Amino acid sequence: MQARTAATSGDDFDQLARDAVYRAMFTRRDVRSHFVADDLDDGVLARLLTAAHHAPSVGYMQPWNFIVIRDAARRRQVRDLFLAAREQELPAIEAERQALYRKLKLEGICESALNLCITCDRQRSKNSPLGRWHNPEMDLYSTVCAVQNFWLAARAEGVGVGWVSIIETEALKRLLSIPEHVTPIAYLCVGRVSEFAPRPDLEAHGWGKRLPLPELVMSETFCGAGEAPLKSAIAALENGRSRDQSAVVEAADQAALGESQREPPKEPSALSRSSLNFDEASASRRSQSGFGTWPSMVSK
């Protein structure tokens, strides 16, 4: 990575701030199984929504709305929509993966503190479609940026988020009285969690693996093989990160094994395994070995 030459505007992130941003990205998880019963404080929810509202949007359109859903009966109805949609999706899954698909937990609609539907109002800038005349779908992408802001801010606040897309859109619109010109983009389960898993659930269950980034980077055109030095730099980072991650996964597995061999605690702590995430494990090894975490190394 090239040395930084000059401060740009005097508000550069220092190393701690950079680490925190990367930490939120690398330890964010889609959460379905680890919600705890605690309510989510309105002050925290306000911060998450404000983060979402500061997402970029085409033509500064800000096409989003945020429907906060707490009512248990309504949530059960949404869950019924999920169950029906999952049955409809099942035949499209390869035959040999259908049993695993059925076992996967793919939502936390009723267990989470609340649900949030983030929508896109497709008519919000209908008279001045700056940036959308050729590409009208840019409003949808803008709303996805708001979802990601919400998700990362939630991770930083220790709040879990799980995205449920296995729902028939028109049925959801009817249930939530969403008008015709508004598209639901994300149905999210949101709440305090007992832990953030060290790797994606679908990876842990053998459904998929993270693709090697060097193979996804091209040069100049879609056919370009990619710049060799850049690919090597990425590969070096990936190797460091996957070593960190394996150590965390191993630590989590060891902890789980230890727990199963020990007497069950009288009052299990909801946060008992929350420290087993990428940062704390790697930070502890860093202090033992003198090496930096991935984010520290990247800026050197």
Ligand X SMILES: Cc1cc2nc3c(=O)[nH]c(=O)nc-3n(C[C@H](O)[C@H](O)[C@H](O)COP(=O)(O)O)c2cc1C
Q: Where are the alpha helices (DSSP H) in the chain?
A: 15-27, 42-53, 72-89, 98-103, 138-156, 169-175, 201-204, 228-261, 278-289, 294-298
Query: Measured from the CB atom, is 141 or 291 closer to ligand X?
Result: 141
We find the least distance from the C-beta atom of residue 209 to ligand X, in angstroms, to be 11
We find the least distance from the C-beta atom of residue 253 to ligand X, in angstroms, to be 18
The helix/strand count (H/E) of the chain reads as: 10, 4
Which residue has 């090894």 as its token pair? 285
Query: Measured from the CB atom, is 189 or 251 closer to ligand X?
Result: 189
Rounded to 10°, the helix 15-27/278-289 angle is 130
Query: Measured from the CB atom, is 40 or 185 closer to ligand X?
Result: 185
What's the Cα-to-Cα distance from 126 to each of 131, 136, 138, 233, rounded to whole Å? 12, 10, 13, 44
Rounded to 10°, the helix 278-289/228-261 angle is 100
For residue 116, which of 224, 175, 188 has the smallest C-alpha distance? 188
We find the least distance from the C-beta atom of residue 136 to ligand X, in angstroms, to be 19
We find the least distance from the C-beta atom of residue 9 to ligand X, in angstroms, to be 32
Query: Measured from the CB atom, is 200 or 214 closer to ligand X?
Result: 200
Question: 89: which residues sit within 8 A by CB, 6+ positions away?
Answer: 166
Query: Measured from the CB atom, is 31 or 281 closer to ligand X?
Result: 31
Contact footprint for ligand X (CB under 6 A): 29-30, 32, 106-107, 163-166, 200, 202
Q: Which two tokens stand for residue 192?
A: 């305090």
Query: Measured from the CB atom, is 125 or 193 closer to ligand X?
Result: 193
Q: How far apart are CA 243 and CA 139, in angstroms?
A: 39
Query: Measured from the CB atom, is 184 or 295 closer to ligand X?
Result: 184
We find the least distance from the C-beta atom of residue 29 to ligand X, in angstroms, to be 4
On whether the CB atoms of residues 246 and 199 are closer than 8 A, the answer is no
We find the least distance from the C-beta atom of residue 157 to ligand X, in angstroms, to be 17
Question: 173: which residues sit within 8 A by CB, 6+ positions away?
Answer: 182, 184
We find the least distance from the C-beta atom of residue 108 to ligand X, in angstroms, to be 8
Residue least distant from ligand X (Cβ): 200
We find the least distance from the C-beta atom of residue 199 to ligand X, in angstroms, to be 8
Query: Measured from the CB atom, is 27 or 65 closer to ligand X?
Result: 27
